[in-house]
């Protein structure tokens, strides 16, 4: 049986009873749907700038959280305490954002779960994905969630085995303290173990990546001196 890499040391309490270690992507199905469906019509305890836009209902914003001008937040969505939603961010319905998270300028999130302390701070796309505690996405990181051919996403697991997710849309599942370098792209169905570091500019294929690893892009540069005519 395929063993997934170590991902989360502790789950937020609201998800602890519904987590399936053999299929962590299932948190994006019934658990998040039931949680969001039970939200009140509105509970705004943080600060919303007049230039921000709250769309629809079932929007919860915790104490100490801030939504900056130009941000668009659609319900249903739960945003915890001391969260920063920066200028121009777009949070589409179906998200759960834990305490102390940062959703930065011009970041788009769709049906995503951010555990406490996760940062998607600069020009990111986070679709159908789960970010563990204190995950950090560098500028321009894309968590792609849809195959070009529209087929169901299966995750290569080695030895010719593939994990069937039953999902047409699934981005990345990143364990606690994973760091992803700037301008990296993670293909649909990428699972990265806790504390792993992904270097800048990596194009990561779908699959299982172990905890406590470095994932590097090796590239050769050819620097040629240009002959300049004498004056």
Note if 49 is an active site residue. Answer: no
Q: Which single residue is written with the structure tokens 């836009």? A: 53
Q: Give the up-direction half-sphere exposure of residue 69: CA atoms within 13 A in the CB hemisphere.
A: 2
Tell me whether the omega of the peptide bond preceding residue 76 falls within 30 degrees of 0, making it cis: yes
Q: Which of 49, 122, 148, 177 is catalytic?
A: 122
SS3 content of the chain, % helix, strand, coil (to 5): 5, 30, 60
Tell me the torsion sign for CA atoms 184, 187, 188, 190: negative
One-character DSSP codes across 36-105: HHTS-SEEE-SEE-TT-EEESS-EEE-TT-EE-TT-EEESSEEE-TT-EE-TT-EE-SSEEE-TT-EEEE
Residues identified as active-site: 122
């Amino acid at each position: 049986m395929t063993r997934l890499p170590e991902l989360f040391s502790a789950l937020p309490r609201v998800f602890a009873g519904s987590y399936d270690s053999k299929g962590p992507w299932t948190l994006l199905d019934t658990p998040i749907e039931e949680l969001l469906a039970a939200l009140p019509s509105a509970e705004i305890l943080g600060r919303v700038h007049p230039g921000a836009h709250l769309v629809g209902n079932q929007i919860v914003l915790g104490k100490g959280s801030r939504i900056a001008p130009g941000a668009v937040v659609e319900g249903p969505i739960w945003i915890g305490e001391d969260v920063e939603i920066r200028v121009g961010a777009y949070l589409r319905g179906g998200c759960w954002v834990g305490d102390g998270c940062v959703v930065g300028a011009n970041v788009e999130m769709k049906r995503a779960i951010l555990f406490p302390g996760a940062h998607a701070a600069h020009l990111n796309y986070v679709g159908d994905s789960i970010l563990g505690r204190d995950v950090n996405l560098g500028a321009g990181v894309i968590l792609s969630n849809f195959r070009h051919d529209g087929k169901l996403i299966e995750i290569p697991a080695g030895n010719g085995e593939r994990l069937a997710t039953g999902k047409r849309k699934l981005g990345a599942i990143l364990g606690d303290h994973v760091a992803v370098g700037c301008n990296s792209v993670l293909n649909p169905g990428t699972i990265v173990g806790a504390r792993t570091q992904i270097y800048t500019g990596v194009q990561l294929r779908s699959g299982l990546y172990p905890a406590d690893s470095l994932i590097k892009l090796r590239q050769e540069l050819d620097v040629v001196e240009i002959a300049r005519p004498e004056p």
